[in-house]
Amino acid sequence: MSSRQRPYCAHGADSACTLSLVTGQDAAVVARARALAADIFREDAHLQEHAARTARHASALAQRIPSSNRADVTAAAWLHDIGYAPRVRRTGFHPLDGALFLIKEQWPERVVRLVAHHSLASLEAPFYGVGHHLNVIEPVPGIDTDILTAADLAGGSGEPVPTVHERIERMRLTDAEADLIPPDVREERYAGLISTFQRVQSLI
């Protein structure tokens, strides 16, 4: 680690870690995202924990990858799963529902787009009947989308923190039980998630 790098704080207990990597107006966006996540998830400890871990991972990864926008990806990490919350849910597809809520609340466009397309959401959207709706929102090109995906995978809830491959196996079980998405599409997504995680890791 160079003298200019801060310690990797993805497993730290203090969520202020996600603010230590950004300053000024950018820090305000991250603080606002953290506050909204705390409010929306106040009755769901599982999603609270996952959001915080994902945000800490995203902050640390973005700090190590110069081409990233740390504020946008960290804010999106706090908010990526708000579409699961009853007050936010509209279509039943949580990436789109979260993005629609953020549009209504006038969040920055890049944060909205990152939330909408996180973790290869476009592969699943057609099977929820919302593929055409999601396509209206353009994905964010570049590394920030990959950082959010990697952080989401690494930010599992529970103790001990699940590995990336354990997270994928849990997804397999959950998705197979729901039986909404064809097996070949599910496996394409899992492979894409792992590939994205490995690609991001290769940059740090």
| Cis status, amide bond into 160, omega within 30 of 0 | yes
**In the chain, % of residues over pLDDT 70:** 88
Residue 156: pLDDT band with limits 50, 70, 90: confident
- pTM for this model (two decimals): 0.87
Q: Rounded to an integer, what distance in angstroms lies between the CA atom of residue 147 and that of residue 77? A: 9
Give just the sign of the alpha carbon dihedral 134, 135, 137, 139.
positive
15-201 has which fold? Hypothetical protein af1432 (1.10.3210)
| Contacts with 187 (C-beta within 8 Å, 6 or more apart), sequence order | none
Q: Is the pLDDT of residue 7 over 70?
A: no
pLDDT of the residue at 23:
52
Q: Give the tens place of pLDDT for each residue, 134-144.
A: 999 999 999 99
pLDDT band with cut points at 50, 70 and 90 for residue 158: confident
pLDDT of 1 over the 50 cut: no
Residue 97 structure tokens:
């529902």
| pLDDT per residue as tens digits for the range 173-202 | 999 999 999 999 999 999 999 999 999 999
The DSSP H or E segment spanning 98 is helix 94-104
pLDDT digits (tens, 9 = 90+) for 11-70: 333 444 444 445 566 889 999 999 999 999 999 999 999 999 999 999 999 999 988 899
Which is more confidently placed, 80 or 18?
80
State the average pLDDT for the chain: 89
Above 70 in pLDDT, residue 167? Answer: yes
The residue that leads in pLDDT, 145 or 7, is 145
Does residue 73 have a pLDDT over 50? yes
What separation in angstroms does the CA of 123 have from each of 9, 14, 54, 74, 130? Answer: 31, 34, 21, 23, 11
Q: What is the average per-residue pLDDT within 156-167?
A: 87
Helix axes 143-154, 164-178, angle to 10 degrees: 90
Q: Hey, where are the domains in the chain?
A: 15-201
Q: Which residue in this structure is represented by tokens 């290869």?
A: 120
What's the pLDDT tens digit per position in 91-115? 999 999 999 999 999 999 999 999 9
